Amino acid sequence: MYDLFQTDRLIELWLQEDIGSCDLTAQLMLDADATSKFRMVAREPMIIAGIEVAARVLKRYDPGLTVNVLVSDGQAVSKGNKLMTVSGCARSIVTAERPALNILQRMSAIATETARYCKEIEGTRARLIDTRKTTPGLRMLEKHAVTCGGGLNHRLGLDNGVMIKDNHIAICGSIFKAVERARNGLPVLTRIEVECDRLEQVEEALQAGADVIMLDNMAIDEMRRAVKLINGAAKVEASGGINIKTIRDVAMTGVDYISTSKITQAAPPVDIGLDE
């Protein structure tokens, strides 16, 4: 779920960016007292994410608008489905429509792509998780969109868990030393994950007592050997270069989680319109 206080701060920035000092076209073309009613419609099948955020954009610009949300986040809709209606001051609606549509289209694209990836690994033990490779400033909302599509969130930020990577290992001298150092100051319920790109590192991470072992850019056969070696002693995450064509093979290795940035960085846009 997303924080409303942070969302409202973002909305202020979106509106300021798009409008500037005024909507010159609306001011020139529409009478101040003109009213209208618009409907927001899905122009293709999709999974909805961000519908309440879009409604909040419209109401933030003009609290006098009447916004009726007709769908929910996580809901699958078909082409032609009505998503919301908005009525009131015509100037306000046409001025705030683009920021509202932008965030709804972005979040729904991520949810739709996430659902597509999740479908590919149905019937396996693997769960899809996201990464920190998100649009600057939009992480909270993009990660919410991932959950709307059936995925899980990895770390929201660097303060959400310990992820020991190659640079940390190089500085500390070894995986064992890195895990030991982290463990000494770790909050009691926080897990330690170690990134490994070779089986020797997997063995060392096991010996060090890592809670989660990430198999980074490993070949499928090597992943299978790593899962067998770990044998349930730690959770296993596969990551690196995974896409819609390869994710099923990765899931079949027996890993617990599969992370990919494709669902947030490369989600194809979805088409949503606001029409009178």
Known catalytic residue at 195: yes
Q: What is the DSSP letter of 268?
A: P
The single residue of 39, 132, 133, 235 carrying the catalytic annotation is 133
Which of 191, 214, 182, 219 has the alpha carbon at shortest distance from 201?
A: 214
Whole-number Cα distances in Å, 18 to 97, 176, 235: 10, 51, 45
Residue 236 β-bridge partners: 213
Which of 98, 108, 94, 95 has the alpha carbon at shortest distance from 276?
A: 94
The single residue of 165, 181, 225, 235 carrying the catalytic annotation is 165
Known catalytic residue at 37: no
Contact yes or no for 67/86 (Cβ under 8 A)? yes
Known catalytic residue at 39: no
Known catalytic residue at 216: yes
The single residue of 98, 177, 183, 224 carrying the catalytic annotation is 98
84's CB contacts (< 8 A; 6+ apart) are 39, 40, 51, 54, 55, 67, 68, 69, 70, 71
Cβ atoms within 10 A of the Cβ of 131, count? 18
The single residue of 23, 216, 237, 256 carrying the catalytic annotation is 216
Known catalytic residue at 248: no
The single residue of 23, 73, 195, 237 carrying the catalytic annotation is 195
**DSSP state letters, 135-177:** -TT-HHHHHHHHHHTT-B---SSGGG-EEE-HHHHHHHSSHHH
Q: Which ranges of 84-230 would DSSP assign to H, the alpha helix?
A: 90-120, 139-148, 166-172, 175-185, 199-208, 220-230
What positions carry a catalytic annotation?
A: 98, 133, 165, 195, 216
